[in-house]
A and B are shown apart, each in its own frame.
Chain A
Amino acid sequence: RKEVEQDPGPFNVPEGATVAFNCTYSNSASQSFFWYRQDCRKEPKLLMSVYSSGNEDGRFTAQLNRASQYISLLIRDSKLSDSATYLCVVNPAGGFKTIFGAGTRLFVKA
């Protein structure tokens, strides 16, 4: 089993739609969680951290479920500019090592 697993998609949604991605992780001792965004042929950039209490940043909401070992990302009112690959990132044991999921591709169409 991979340490971090994501549905690769692609998710094809119309503008204005709500879309959700899930990511599961295998190490129950994992301590920190993130969503990164990667545009085609570009480097990844931090989208948001994921906190135990859940957190929201504009149209984006991230949730953590430690009992079931998954994190989620919800995007409301999708924009064309949201088209990208979304990478789930988990820190298995603290410190600086991080494990990236393979990513979920999102296409938002007019």
Chain B
Amino acid sequence: GAGVSQSPSNKVTEKGKDVELRCDPISGHTALYWYRQSLGQGLEFLIYFQGNSAPDKSGLPSDRFSAERTGGSVSTLTIQRTQQEDSAVYLCASSDQSSYNEQFFGPGTRLTVL
């Protein structure tokens, strides 16, 4: 079946611009996660959704970052007024409650802020 998809795969933007990243989870997966991975680094947890609600937003780096999920499916991560330090790969993952915490990852969006 279809896995987690993300778009765009690559995004180059200028400092100060806003960007929107999209994640389509595996159909039926109730939990959705966003992570950030900088070059050569581990994954940094940003936010997770259970259905449409986000009980844990503790990882969002600043108020320039926001995320939403609609219909218990698609999620968007928005970064306002991008900075060069926002450059990273943004990974989305989804999880089925019955597979406790096994997360299936999308291919990521590589964001470059010039």
Interface residue ranges, B against A (CB under 8 Å): 31, 33, 35, 41-43, 45, 48, 50, 55-56, 91, 95, 100-108
Contact = CB atoms under 8 A, between A and B. Distances in A.
Contacts of B48: 96-97
Contacts of A71: none
B91 A43 contact: yes
B105 A32 contact: no
Contacts of B107: 42-43
Interface in A25-73: 32, 34, 42-46, 49
Nearest to B3: A43
Nearest to B50: A96
B105 A100 contact: no
A101 B108 CA distance: 18
Given A43-B106, A43-B107, A44-B105, A98 B45 contact: yes
B105 to A, nearest CB: 4
Interface of A: 32, 34, 42-46, 49, 87, 91, 95-103
The SS class assigned to the B binding surface is strand
A32 B41 contact: no
B4 to A, nearest CB: 8
Contacts of A43: 91, 105-108
B5 to A, nearest CB: 11
A101 B91 contact: no
B43 A44 contact: yes
A97 B43 contact: no
Contacts of A96: 31, 33, 48, 50, 56, 95, 101
Contact of B35 (A46, A91, A100, A102): A100
Nearest to B95: A96
Contact of B43 (A34, A49, A100): A100
